[in-house]
Amino acid sequence: MSLSPLQKVRYGYQPKLPAVLQLNAASIAGSGNQPTAAVADQDSVQAIFVHQYGKPLISFSQGSNPAMTRALTVGVILSGGQAPGGHNVIAGLFDGLKKGNKDSVLIGFRGGPGGLTDDNSVELTAAIIDEYRNTGGFDIIGSGRTKIETPEQFAKSAAVAKARKLDAVVVIGGDDSNTNAALLAEYFAANTVPCAVIGVPKTIDGDLKNEYIEASFGFDTATKTYSELIGNIERDAASARKYWHFIKLMGRSASHIALECALQCQPNVCLISEEVEEKKLTLAAVCNEICDSIVARAAKGMNFGVVLVPEGLIEFIPEFKTLISSLNDLLAAKAEAYAALNDNSARIAFVSQLLDAELSKLYGSLPQDIQLQLIMDRDPHGNVQVSRIETEKLIVSIVESRLSELKKNGKYSGKFSSQTHFFGYEGRCAFPSNFDADYCYSLGMNAWALIAGGYSGYLSSVRNLEKPASQWQAGGIPLTMMMNIERRHGSDKPVIKKALVELDGAPFQAFAAKRAQWAVETSYRFPGAIQYYGPAEICDQPTETLKLEKAGK
């Protein structure tokens, strides 16, 4: 394989670690004794996780624990969508295992959770690991979205764990993947399988976080990658002065990516799904707000601009949220009948007839391509695949109609031409920023410390992320502590609760204080490319979101 100059040099980058994880293995001690509770639906969650519920928070500090030096055999799984830094999690886990005992073994299960059930695996040696240090992607072992949820799958996982004599399995994934990790930990405990399960918080969407998980890995790199592209488009828009660019950004269930990119780039308009839901705005009202900016800028001779649209916006618009929820339940209940249809018109008619009158009318008012996108194959969790819904194009069509009305009424005399973009996959496998390279390596080594310390059912937690890495705090948070009950596939199930944008939080408030000015003026910022070498204030800075969240604490 031919290597780029950057790739060659990045192999040699040595990620920075929290001070406690720099100690020799026998000097790392964990502590915690206060029981914890689920974030919501405590009784229901406890009834499901009889063996795992209520475990304490764990914090690592300098001490004495000779057990940390025992030889371990550990399996690792990459689950769900890619995020920059996944390879460094595995490298940190591997280096931690070897720090504890040179005879420890790391086994990679290929293709996600299905690799565990099918025992599709490879021993990850130093030679393999060294080829992937500080690089993007999940290609070291691949990822997958298989869920371990049936009795047969749990039994097969247990059989592989026993046959391989695994001391632990590390699941690197998002909220759904780590929910699966919690269920696997509960099954192993209930069936006396001597194998721990540890999770690592991954998702570029940024919605897997709380007081103890300050950021999910990959968010830093992805938002910096998108912000570079948005800045480039802003510069082009200000140069050509003839296009409004509508940019959809990844973020299925939360608007953290859009908000972070807005803070970095200062576009004319940035929609925040959580605010749309809070204010109960209709799609027409959302588009009217965009038109207000277009009209105001046109009056100043500026027939150009940039609008950021969260990927999951449509699910937060009240009437569409109800429609999508009904479609999810309907398609789950009528799966066989729907699957038998092989014509798009028949599929649309089938769904329209089963919706109630009001929702059927709304569904029928949409362009046919949007109708089809709403009933495409569901993801493995039974939800609509919002990344395939061209919300940005739907918004443009409504904006064009509204501007035409305003022009007829003499309230708008500008010119409107649009370009649409979707930035998603461009950010999922980028070379990790220094922050993500350091954070992921720390999360991986911290996962080893949790395993060596005898813990199971925990999510690797590294805190104080606004400070230099040497001051980061390492520990673990019980997976059950993040749980609530949600409706999936037409039934109630335990899931890790997603962290949405807090409208009273510092990041949103900083954005809200400036957006009226940005809507009318050209206030663009151009973040430029991620920098890997140079002053720490240029290369090692966390996101604007993290800095603002931590500034008041």
Rounded-to-integer distance, Cα 496 and Cα 479, Å:
8
Task: At 85, give phi and psi (nearest 5°).
Answer: 110, -10
Helix (H) or strand (E) holding 361: helix 357-364
Q: List Cβ neighbours of 277 (8 Å cut-off, separation of 6 or more).
A: 316, 317, 318, 321
Q: What is the DSSP letter of 381?
A: T
Rounded-to-integer distance, Cα 338 and Cα 335, Å:
5
**Quick one: how far is CA 537 from the chain centroid?**
26
Q: Which among 445, 439, 444, 463 is positioned nearest to 23, based on CA atoms? A: 445
> 63-68, long-range: CB within 8 Å, 24+ apart, which pairs?
63/27, 63/28, 63/29, 63/31, 64/26, 64/27, 64/29, 65/26, 65/27, 65/28, 65/29, 65/30, 65/453, 66/26, 67/452, 67/453, 67/454, 68/25, 68/26, 68/28, 68/100, 68/449, 68/452, 68/453
Q: Which among 229, 156, 166, 234 is positioned nearest to 194, based on CA atoms? A: 166
Number of helices (H), then strands (E), belonging to the chain: the values are 22, 15
Among residues 95, 167, 175, 205, the one annotated as catalytic is 205
Rounded-to-integer distance, Cα 164 and Cα 73, Å:
8
Q: Which among 227, 273, 267 is positioned nearest to 244, based on CA atoms? A: 267
Tally the residues of the chain: 553
Rounded-to-integer distance, Cα 182 and Cα 27, Å:
28
For the question of residue 205 being annotated catalytic, the response is yes
What are the catalytic residues?
Answer: 205
